[in-house]
């Protein structure tokens, strides 16, 4: 009954791992440590350092640890970088997933939880995005996530796997300083870095068709993301027949970049006004989740608000 967690030494993966261990789910981690750290792993959790592109290594891990399910989190995730390096993103995100699924099927694993993204929706024409909203990604990152969902679903049908694709919205916050986001590509740590360096936070475009001209997003605490994964693992473990789920993970509340920066200014006590720069390629104006389906399917609901996301992240940042 062991679950393989790819990317389990990363920011999101570390939180998922922590909650799975707390729920007494046996786990093993595969991570290439390109952005992860062994320090995020709880004591006693096996870590295999390697790539999701390494089929031989994956076969060994699945066999030696008797893997019955996979939580696939490992991926490249920067939108702008994906626009500049599409070949790399398709190789890492899609070929890596294919290789993991091949090893899972060959080794007898029959459950897969796939980390997808709201980027699959592109620029949806809807106040709240449901799982039935047409998917039209506008950057290679989103394309790899949508194609990944198709692959997971098709493999599930062909081989009798139970699968769940979880579409993350904008992740923030931390459960502890040890698990905090080390990168500065997301809005909250990017703003912290700028403020720490005595610089103004950046706003990438203020001419979007939104109330204040800045992008609107659905921010979700990473601990809530992790709880959704645990709920998905339990649901797939308990399923008598193969399942195929595709679910949003969000709060259903839109917060603009300007509004988020105002919260950051209040929490940090640093009111430095932000500086507006040109739009980034591939950024949609508004993406906000409808989270009704995940509540019905997994009995899950977000527990944390914006203030707790920023406060927890700032406390961790100060301990870096």
Q: Give the active site residues.
A: 141
End-to-end CA distance of the chain: 36
Q: Which tokens belong to 243?
A: 């399942």
Note the helical H segments in the chain: 11-22, 55-64, 79-84, 86-89, 96-107, 140-159, 187-196, 222-238, 257-268, 292-298, 306-318
Q: How far apart are CA 302 and CA 291, in angstroms?
A: 9
305 near 223, Cβ under 8 Å? no
Q: How far apart are CA 147 and CA 159, in angstroms?
A: 18
Residue 46's beta-bridge partner residues? none
Q: How far apart are CA 203 and CA 96, in angstroms?
A: 33
């Amino acid at each position: 009954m062991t679950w393989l967690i790819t990317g389990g030494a990363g920011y999101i993966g570390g939180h998922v791992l922590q909650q799975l261990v707390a729920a007494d789910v046996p786990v093993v981690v595969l991570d290439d440590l390109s952005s992860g750290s062994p320090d995020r792993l709880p004591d006693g959790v096996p870590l295999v350092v390697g790539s999701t592109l390494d089929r031989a290594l994956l076969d060994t891990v699945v066999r030696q640890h008797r893997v019955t399910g996979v939580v696939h989190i490992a991926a490249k995730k920067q939108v702008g970088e994906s626009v500049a390096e599409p070949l790399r993103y398709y190789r890492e995100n899609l070929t890596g997933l294919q290789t993991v699924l091949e090893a899972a099927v060959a080794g007898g694993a029959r459950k897969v939880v796939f980390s997808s993204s709201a980027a699959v929706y592109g620029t949806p024409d809807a106040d709240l995005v449901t799982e039935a909203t047409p998917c039209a990604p506008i950057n290679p990152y989103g394309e790899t996530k949508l194609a990944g969902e198709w692959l997971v679903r098709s493999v599930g049908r062909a081989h009798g796997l139970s699968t769940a694709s979880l579409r993350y919205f904008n992740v923030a916050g931390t459960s502890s300083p040890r698990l905090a986001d080390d990168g500065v590509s997301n809005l909250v740590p990017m703003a912290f870095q700028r403020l720490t360096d005595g610089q103004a936070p950046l706003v990438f475009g203020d001419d979007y068709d939104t109330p204040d001209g800045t992008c609107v997003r659905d921010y979700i605490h990473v601990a809530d993301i992790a709880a959704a994964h645990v709920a998905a693992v339990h649901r797939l473990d308990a399923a008598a027949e193969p399942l195929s789920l595709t679910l949003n993970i969000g709060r259903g509340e839109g917060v603009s970049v300007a509004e988020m920066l105002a919260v950051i200014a209040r929490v940090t006590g640093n009111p430095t006004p932000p500086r507006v720069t040109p739009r980034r390629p591939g950024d949609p104006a508004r993406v906000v989740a409808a989270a009704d389906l995940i509540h019905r399917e997994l009995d899950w609901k977000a527990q944390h608000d914006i203030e707790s996301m920023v406060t927890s992240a700032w406390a961790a940042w100060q301990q870096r």
